[in-house]
């Protein structure tokens, strides 16, 4: 007889899901009164998207959402994380609400409900209203924070009778640090931004965004017709000890807490900044303007923490000032079709464990994204045997299982993503979907991984 552990059985109420983002799937960018987002404008810029493409049509989900939800239900998926396009519901970012735009999400949510699928709405997945960029340079102004909170409150009012799970912001580093460092130049990262003068100005965009997050948490709770859960979707430092010795675990934990996203992550988790960081930023002239009261708002308690996990960095203890060093990746190490995505399933385990240990965080966790870009070619039999994606999902889900076995409250997993879609700077050239999309005909074909996921959900264990 196999033990529960050997068969990788999951808890009965484990949330099996898929995730998506508005600009990557919806299309219909000129329909229903939608205003431009920064991504519409960025895609029009020559050379910005490697393939010259845009999200103008994408998966045409704006028109095909009913069929897509049906497809989702046919896989047995019970939870769907999608994002609301701010410029569809408030075209100029801070003016009148566009009822037609809200109606689209309202219909989507009803349709999910008809299929027994729980909605998890992300308010901001990178498509900031272009109007705010023009009014006040978007994230460079504190007005972004109050406008975001107003938008959050309005969504809670309009949709909060049927949505009780909200995620404020997706992967802050991508559009603040990278977006504003690289500006409108395709550097292999996923965010267009306004290039700003220096690192201090970049830090200021992080402060405004996190302030927006905290104010939005308050606005969601204040305007929701029912009790709701609010989370933040993060991609942390992803430090993985090269071996599980106390010294290497200590080193990786230290890197996790010091190296990435300190300005966003520490206030989020504690309502304050570590003294060493303030000292360092003051000394090197990168300290943004932020008050203790603002830091406290950024730390408005969340109900659960979302982790987007794709890759990780191996770390070992080192005899240097910081006490750790990154381990270089050899040429033959397992990779994917995207240069930044090398395989590291253990990253999932360590992210959740370190977030718990570093901040004494005892609330639940969600794996809000985890996905693999494959080559995904049709075989002679008309199938897509994406075995590497199945391998990927199984390996990362084993780490979810390990966490649960060890008592970490990981409540759900959202595969990124159901449908192949617009992969930002890579256009349609990178496919993360479990379901193949022919972008000429919009035909959807489930890959082998979709069948694997459906059976895993059905049996509630890794098959
Ligand atoms: C996430 N990195 O982005 C986003 O949330 C999705 O919209 C996106 O499609 C997906 O992952 C796949 O790229 C990331 O450089 C972008 O480490 C860049 C990185 C990680 C995640």
Evaluate if residue 189 carries a pLDDT over 80: no
**CA–CA gap between residue 192 and residue 139 (Å, rounded):** 12
Q: Identify the pLDDT of residue 76.
A: 98
Q: Are 53 and 422 in contact (CB under 8 A)?
A: yes
Average pLDDT rounded to a whole number, residues 378-389: 98
Q: Where are the beta strands (DSSP E) in 237-390?
A: 239-241, 304-308, 313-317, 324-326, 365-369
Tell me if residue 53 is catalytic. no
**CA–CA gap between residue 47 and residue 272 (Å, rounded):** 40
Query: Length of the chain in residues, anyone?
Result: 463
The total of other beta-carbon atoms located within 10 Å of residue 145's CB is 23
Tell me if residue 134 is catalytic. no
Q: Identify the pLDDT of residue 185.
A: 65
Name, in order, each residue with C-beta under 8 angstroms of 276's C-beta and a sequence gap of 6 or more. Answer: none
Express each pLDDT in 314-340 by its tens digit: 999 999 999 999 999 999 999 999 988
Three-state secondary structure call for residue 445? strand
- The atom of ligand 1 lying closest to the CA of 432 is 12
Three-state secondary structure call for residue 397? helix
Q: What is the percent of the chain with per-residue pLDDT over 70, rounded to a whole number?
A: 97
Phi, psi at 456, each rounded to 5° = -60, -45
Q: Identify the pLDDT of residue 212.
A: 98
Q: Identify the pLDDT of residue 107.
A: 98
Q: In the structure, what pLDDT confidence band is assigned to residue 192 with cuts at 50, 70 and 90?
A: confident
Ligand 1 contact, 416 CB (< 6 A): yes
Evaluate if residue 243 carries a pLDDT over 50: yes
Q: Are 256 and 287 in contact (CB under 8 A)?
A: no
Whether the model clears a pTM of 0.75, i.e. scores above it, the answer is yes
Q: Are 98 and 88 in contact (CB under 8 A)?
A: yes
The total of other beta-carbon atoms located within 10 Å of residue 13's CB is 9
Distance in Å, CA 190 to ligand 1 centroid = 7
Pairing state between β 118-124 and 435-438: unpaired
Q: Which residue, chain included where needed, has tokens 């430092």?
A: 237
Express each pLDDT in 22-58 by its tens digit: 999 999 999 999 999 999 999 998 888 989 999 999 9
Evaluate if residue 197 carries a pLDDT over 90: no
CA dihedral (115, 120, 121, 127) positive or negative: negative
Q: Which of 26, 171, 258, 423 is catalytic?
A: 171
Ligand 1 contact, 171 CB (< 6 A): yes
Q: Identify the pLDDT of residue 188.
A: 53
Residues facing 167 on adjacent strands: 122, 231
Q: Closest Cα partner for 38 from 190, 213, 187, 169?
A: 190
**CA–CA gap between residue 176 and residue 173 (Å, rounded):** 5
**CA–CA gap between residue 316 and residue 325 (Å, rounded):** 6
Evaluate if residue 369 carries a pLDDT over 90: yes
Ligand 1 contact, 191 CB (< 6 A): no
Ligand 1 contact, 336 CB (< 6 A): no
CA atoms within 13 A on the CB side of 207: 22
Tokens of 211: 């302030």
Q: Which of 26, 258, 294, 369 is catalytic?
A: 369
Ligand 1 contact, 423 CB (< 6 A): yes
């Amino acid at each position: 007889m196999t033990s529960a552990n050997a068969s990788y059985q999951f808890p009965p109420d484990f949330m099996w899901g898929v995730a998506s983002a508005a600009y990557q799937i919806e299309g219909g960018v000129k329909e229903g009164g939608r205003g431009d987002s920064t991504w519409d404008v960025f895609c029009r810029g020559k050379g910005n998207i490697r393939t010259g493409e845009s999200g103008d049509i994408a998966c045409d989900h704006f028109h095909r959402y009913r069929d897509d939800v049906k497809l989702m239900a046919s896989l047995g998926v019970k939870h769907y994380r999608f994002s609301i396009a701010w410029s569809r519901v408030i075209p100029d970012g801070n003016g009148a609400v566009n009822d037609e735009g809200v109606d689209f999400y309202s219909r989507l949510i009803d349709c999910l409900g008809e299929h027994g699928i729980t909605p998890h709405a992300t308010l901001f997945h990178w498509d900031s209203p272009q109007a705010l960029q023009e009014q006040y340079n978007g994230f460079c102004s504190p007005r972004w924070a109050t406008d975001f909170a107003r938008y959050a409150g309005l969504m809670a009012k309009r949709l909060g009778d049927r949505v009780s799970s909200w995620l404020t912001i997706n992967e802050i580093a991508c559009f603040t640090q990278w977006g504003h460092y690289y500006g409108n130049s395709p550097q292999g990262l996923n965010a267009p931004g306004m290039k700003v003068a220096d690192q201090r100005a970049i830090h200021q965009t992080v402060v405004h965004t996190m302030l927006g997050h905290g104010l939005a948490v308050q606005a969601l709770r204040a305007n929701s017709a029912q009790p709701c859960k609010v989370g933040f979707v993060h991609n942390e430092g992803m430090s993985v000890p090269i071996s599980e010795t106390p010294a290497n675990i200590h080193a990786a934990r230290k890197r996790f807490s010091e190296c990435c996203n300190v300005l966003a992550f520490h206030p989020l988790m504690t309502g304050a900044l570590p003294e060493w960081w303030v000292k360092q930023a003051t000394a090197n002239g990168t300290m943004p303007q932020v008050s203790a009261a603002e830091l406290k708002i950024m730390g408005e308690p969340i109900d659960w923490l979302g982790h987007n996990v794709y890759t990780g960095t191996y770390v070992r203890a080192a005899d240097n000032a910081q006490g750790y060093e990154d381990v270089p990746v050899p040429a033959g190490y397992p990779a994917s079709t995207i240069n930044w995505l090398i395989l590291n399933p253990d990253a999932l385990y360590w992210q959740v464990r370190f977030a718990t240990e570093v901040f004494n965080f005892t609330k639940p966790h969600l794996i809000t994204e985890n996905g693999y870009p494959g080559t995904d070619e049709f075989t002679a039999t008309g199938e897509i045997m994406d075995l590497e994606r199945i391998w990927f999902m199984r390996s990362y889900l084993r780490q979810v299982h390990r966490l649960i076995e060890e008592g970490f409250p990981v409540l759900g997993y959202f595969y990124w993503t159901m449908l192949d879609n617009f992969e930002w700077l890579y256009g349609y050239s990178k496919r993360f979907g479990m379901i193949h999309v022919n972008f000429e005909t919009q035909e959807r074909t489930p890959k082998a991984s979709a069948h694997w996921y459906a059976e895993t959900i059905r049996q509630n264990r890794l098959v």
